[in-house]
Amino acid sequence: MLLVSAFGNFKLGFFSPASSTTTERYLGIWHDTAPDTLGWYFRPFLPRYQTDEPIWIANRNTPILDQSGVLTIDSIDGNLKILHNGGNPIAVSSVEGASNNTSATLLQSGNLVLREMDTDGTIKRVLWQSFDYPTDTLLPGMKLGINLQTGHQWFLQSWLDYSSPAQGSFTLGIEPNATNQLIIRWRRETIYWTSGLLLNGNFNFSRSWNLSFSYTSNEQEKYFEYSLNEGVTSSVFLRIDPEGALSDSRGSFAPCTYGGCWNQLPRPICRKGTGPENFQSKVGLISEHGFKFKESDNMSSTDCRANCFYNCSCIAFATGTSEYTDKQAYCEIWSEGTEFTEIASNNSREIFILAIKEEKWWRSLTIAIGVVLGIPLLCYLCYVTWRKLKAKDNVSLLPTYGKRKSPEKDQSISHELKIFDFQTIAAAANNFSTTNKLGEGGFGPVYKGKLADEQEVAIKRLSRSSGQGIVEFKNEVRLIAKLQHTNLVRLLGCSLHGEERLLVYEFMPNKSLDFFLFNSGRKNVLNWEKRFIIIEGISQGLLYLHKYSRLRVIHRDLKASNILLDDKMNPKISDFGMARIFEVNESEANTKRIVGTYGYMSPEYAMSGIVSIKTDVFSFGVLVLEIVSGQKNHTRHHPDRPLNLIGYAWQLLSDGKGLELIDPSLEQPCSANEVMRCIHVGLLCVQDQAMDRPTMPEVVCMLQNETMPLPPPKQPAFFINANADDQVPEVPDNEVAKFSTNDVTMTTMEAR
């Protein structure tokens, strides 16, 4: 049975996707009018979408598994529900306070409306309508925008793939901070495409579509909608497909989004001459397990392809559906060196392998000859240029350094930052002897020293062999010289001498947090009172960096080894070589230079290069859980699968066993409420989506206010790897990724 609109142009009923191989069925609305005279021309170019495919789906994420589906109006609350043999009724509408005298009508606009009726059969009010809950298709009269009074948003969300209507990776909505623009986002974070401004009822991409857009903005709502120009039939509607392309029902694509907006993202240099379309499907056997992203991400094939293409070491990917996690989609990628055998067998699987375009032999020969002849000359030019830049860098960084500096400027540049000569530093550190060595920092060794005035200092030596370049050195000097806070390590001075770059800090007698926290013989020094003081101190330091300093600073490498402890065990955040300065009104940025430490990096930063204050919030959350438990994040916490500390903490809290996370070395009594609040706040900070994580002002308030109610944390960002012992593919030296190297940085990626 079907529910048909007045003129028969729309129908409501149960269906299975045409390209699906499962028995899953959905309740949907589809257009039942033949395409207009222009539409038939495009159909050969758009085989995946037909005019009789649904324009709205009621249960896109909860399909029924047999033929038993029935749409009914509940006799008690008057809401629309789907009854089936497979389990509980599926709610289509959820209107509170509805009466049992309701009626559902499919209008000729394609809108399914639930109305409350008077006793005489007249319409009393509209309770619910499908136009308020669009799926992947926009019809004339639908809105894209936001209800400012209720916060409800109207947006389109693509299918997961062409055979599954489940919510996919691409959304089309309005840009809330701009005027008259539409925006497509990938996985709710990455901006794929913007429409530009609305001019004279049209966007640039829609001028050939015979549509007229309008924009409404008032105190109640902001939204776009469109109407059809005169002479255009009602079969024309807009759709966002699983690859992120925006098209009308006749197959006309928005010019800048064909093929999923791939052209909007800059291609890596390593993919020159190759595009995402160059993955070839092959069936066979692969030599080893790949890296598997967490199944809760529910990645589509488009997501998996993108993650592989923009990872220079990736050569192949595969997607599928997990049998263990409610049929969620998974993504697995393989790096260079993996062997693939194309063969049909019971164990064979479909793998998408990137086909690298081969250059003409004569082109390769020409390049080879040019390289051989040009290398000597290039090396000489590089050496001369390097020498000049080196001298210029030394002068620009330290204008008072050298023989021409005046006595008045010999001791200080600004903010009491002293310039030391190399001989003074070497003497203070006993010529950098091993007995004075405190440990290895992110970019080189750190030594204990004593100046001529008996002041004890810590000296960070950044020589030619260290990973830190002049960029990081300048960054650290420029930043720390301007930052003054009790929970930030204080920079006393610096020195440049040839290839030597040295930073002089105040001396921290109790070394770093990891020295105590992860050592079974020393961790008992950290009772709960001290641990909570350390947590609060770190939060205050981050609050200063994010909000109250003259520069808005994102640290980007917050971890236990970068938290130093003074003589009273108060924490001080150190190592600002990787920090980034933001403008006051700047909330996030993209970077090609990804730096940090595995286990502490947020997923959007590690995978997409998106850096924001929430990057530090994620690292802080990991650090809080480590302080409570006394264990590193990459430690395994599950006998059957590589569940890391974050996942273990979330599982314990979900099971009501949060206190089991406490470090066994902590002596009782300690405040159970305080511990649970720290675990709760830590899990809020490591939530998968950056927008769900609190800001540091909110974190500080949560930690200090014991009566403040805390929202339940969503599933955190941690990976479930098919083979946790697989090593992370090495990043070539010429790649943009750089990770700090110290005693807690892992070369093996453990599950997050």
Q: Which residues of 226-243 are buried (b: 16+ CB within 10 A; e: fewer)?
A: bebeeebebbbbbbbbbb
Tokens 């489940």, located at residue: 166
Q: 539: alpha, beta or left, given left = phi > 0 and alpha = psi -120 to 50? A: alpha
Provide the mean pLDDT of the chain: 77
* C-alpha–C-alpha distance, residues 108 and 7, integer Å: 6
Instruction: Give the pLDDT mean for 191-217.
Output: 76
- CB count within 10 Å of CB 138 equals 25
| Cα–Cα distances in angstroms (integers) from residue 195 to residues 170, 179, 267, in the given order | 15, 11, 21
State pLDDT tens for residues 348-359: 888 888 876 544
| Cα–Cα distances in angstroms (integers) from residue 298 to residues 75, 328, 333, 549, in the given order | 36, 5, 15, 39
Give the model's pLDDT for residue 723. 37
Instruction: Give the pLDDT mean for 463-467.
Output: 54
Tokens of 475: 């960054």
Q: Are 352 and 281 in contact (CB under 8 A)?
A: yes
75 has a pLDDT exceeding 50: yes
Helix axes 613-629, 672-685, angle to 10 degrees: 140
Q: 559: alpha, beta or left, given left = phi > 0 and alpha = psi -120 to 50? A: beta
Distance of CA 211 to the CA centre of its chain: 35
Give the model's pLDDT for residue 619. 95
429 has a pLDDT exceeding 70: yes
More confident residue, 336 or 304: 304
Q: In what order do the strands lie in the sheet with 246-248?
A: 137-138, 238-240, 246-248
Give the model's pLDDT for residue 721. 39
Instruction: Give the pLDDT mean for 643-648.
Output: 86
* C-alpha–C-alpha distance, residues 270 and 313, integer Å: 9
743 has a pLDDT exceeding 90: no
More confident residue, 366 or 65: 65
Phi, psi angles (nearest 5°) of residue 516: -95, -45
Tokens of 560: 């236990």
Q: Which long-range contacts (CB under 8 A, 24 or more apart) does 182-188 make?
A: 182/144, 182/224, 184/240, 184/244, 184/246, 184/257, 184/261, 186/244, 186/303, 186/306, 187/303, 188/689, 188/691
- CATH architecture of residue range(s) 513-739: Orthogonal Bundle (1.10)
Q: What is the DSSP string of 234-277?
A: TT--EEE-TTS-EEETTSPBPTTTTTTSGGGSPPPGGGTT--GG
210 has a pLDDT exceeding 60: yes
**Domain map of the chain by residue range?**
3-248, 266-354, 407-506, 513-739
| Cα–Cα distances in angstroms (integers) from residue 623 to residues 59, 127, 563, in the given order | 40, 48, 10
Instruction: Give the pLDDT mean for 649-677.
Output: 86
| Cα–Cα distances in angstroms (integers) from residue 718 to residues 144, 293, 323, 480, in the given order | 33, 9, 19, 32
Give the model's pLDDT for residue 404. 32
Instruction: Give the pLDDT mean for 583-588.
Output: 53
* C-alpha–C-alpha distance, residues 66 and 72, integer Å: 17
The residues annotated with a catalytic role in the active site are 557
* C-alpha–C-alpha distance, residues 412 and 408, integer Å: 8
* C-alpha–C-alpha distance, residues 283 and 311, integer Å: 23
State pLDDT tens for residues 378-428: 787 887 776 666 544 443 444 333 333 333 333 334 445 788 888 899 999
CATH code for the part of the protein at 407-506: 3.30.200.20
Q: Which long-range contacts (CB under 8 A, 24 or more apart) does 573-576 make?
A: 573/487, 573/488, 573/489, 573/538, 573/541, 573/542, 573/545, 574/488, 574/489, 574/505, 574/512, 575/441, 575/442, 575/476, 575/740, 576/475, 576/476, 576/479, 576/480, 576/483
Give the model's pLDDT for residue 330. 76
Instruction: Give the pLDDT mean for 552-579.
Output: 88
Phi, psi angles (nearest 5°) of residue 277: -75, -5
Instruction: Give the pLDDT mean for 140-160.
Output: 91
State pLDDT tens for residues 467-526: 556 666 766 677 677 778 889 988 888 887 777 888 898 999 998 999 999 998 899 899
Tokens of 319: 């997607």
Give the model's pLDDT for residue 337. 72
